[in-house]
A and B are shown apart, each in its own frame.
Chain A
Amino acid sequence: MYSLHPAHRKNVTKMQSVFQTAISGILYLVCILISACAGSGSSGFDARAKAEQNAIAKVTKEGGCVDVENTVICAPGVNLANVSGINSDFLVSENAARLSIEPVSGARVSCLKNSDLQVCQIMVSVVPSDFAEGTQFFVSAHFKDTISWSNPIVLRPISSPGSSLSAVLTLETGSIMESSGFQIAVLVYGENVLLPENQGEVPLLADFFPELVYAVAAIEVEIVPNP
């Protein structure tokens, strides 16, 4: 065991006293320090997901389109004329192509819950105008605070070709309990391109390789029993 020179013992004793005082002081500081903590958070590297979310927030607020590293994200109803980065093969007329989505951004929708299953369903409908024949539309959903977009499902004609298209989105009620805010993305594909069927959930819209995305955001879901 090491022993200090007698001349230093007094200093060490003093130091121990100082340390004891310091421990009390630091513990006090810790209490002050952490008493301010009122929340939680996280950090990570998924910058592309943030860029997509920023784009959705921007088009929801300001309209128009945003190009996120070759994935063009637009607000519903936007006129595609002069929007760069869009494949024009699926546009009949560059001046007139547009699409509307129901529900709209900020809407509150009812999600019909089946009593036997932990899921509920909502209807999504779109009305495309002046898209080329063969253009295909899929819909995917994303809950706030989760990291994935749901497996896209195809939007089919409600009645006859050329009119509105619709799909029933099935949502897990567990996710809705955690957060009622969610987003919808309508993915547009031309003819003879790779479609996102059975691709599963992915963190990025870009992972579905759409040629164009229409997004609506800040939709509030309310679960209601299916009569």
Chain B
Amino acid sequence: MDQKATPFKGIKDIFYQTRVLMGREYTLKRFASEILGGRVEAVMLSYIEKGKRFPTEALVRRLAQVRREMPETLLVFLWRDRMLYAFSRELHKAIKGEDQASIKGLEQAEVAALISRAIAALPDDGTWIPLTRWQADLNRSILSLGANRPSGLLTTVMDILKTQGLIEEAEGKVRRLGGHYIAESPDEKHALAVEFCGIFTKGLLGKVVLKEQKTYLRNHYLQIPEDQIAAFYQKLNAAVNQLTTEFASEEGEAGKFLNVLITSSPS
């Protein structure tokens, strides 16, 4: 299964997708008892599909057998979700000073991921495109999040982009005014931070566990005079901007959505 099709797929989506693809007759109860061999109660399976509980590794291995896939290909989703959950909880304390354990942080990260998709779906040069076409593109990303996605995502994403002055809408058309989304409120910062963590953990697990060849993961390091750090960051930013613009698909061209997460900090 191509998991890269969705902005932010988790283990909950794998369980839901597997059951739905087997057919309408597979209710939670029947899937839990017949396919998963009674290793999980229907109520718990419901919680798992909604992302309210994590499955055990044994249950994920069982699902992998059912799907005839290597267990690691599914376990990485479980491991990443657990890491994101723990990161989201700690980050919530760091940003808001509250101890809140919930899946809401992960849902907000989906919004942050959709914002990236929405920006990338508009031409770099600010050309106007039909609003309906852009919304249809965005809706495809939203639909791919599964039935348990938060409601009103399209409106949420559009409102954020308009508020930040990144898009302009007129006479049934839309165009981009800017390409850099900035998280401002504590909720937005939390969501974006969890998305960044999701990108990193996906790359890390993909490279280390699955040994993916199409993932780039490398630490570059250097000794640098402190007063040159700002200049270094400026050139790094300019170089990455130039690369992403140069290699971004032309409108109508096929391609993959590639995240390039960069962090640099003096020790």
Contact = CB atoms under 8 A, between A and B. Distances in A.
Shortest beta-carbon contacts, A-B, top 6: A41-B119, A38-B251, A36-B137, A40-B244, A39-B124, A41-B179
Interface residues of A, number: 47
B112 interface: yes
Contacts of B257: 34, 37
A19 B67 contact: yes
Interface string B44-80: 0000000000000000001001111000000000000
A39 B234 contact: no
Nearest to B253: A35
A194 interface: no
Nearest to A34: B255
B43 interface: no
Contact of B2 (A30, A43, A203): A30
Contact of B123 (A27, A38, A49, A203): A38
A178 interface: yes
A145 interface: yes
Contact of B182 (A31, A39, A43, A203): A43
Interface residues of B, number: 66
A54 B233 CA distance: 22
Contact of A38 (B121, B140, B164, B238): B121
Given A11-B34, A47-B182, 4 more contacts: A32-B140, A39-B119, A39-B248, A200-B230
Contact of A27 (B2, B21, B181, B241): B2
B265 interface: no
Given A146-B237, A146-B238, A43 B4 contact: no
Contacts of B67: 19
B121 A201 contact: no
B241 A43 contact: no
B237 A37 contact: no
Contact of B179 (A29, A40, A46): A40
Contacts of A174: 238
A37 B249 contact: yes
Contact of A43 (B183, B238, B249): B183
A145 B192 contact: no
Given A14-B23, A18-B22, A42 B34 contact: no
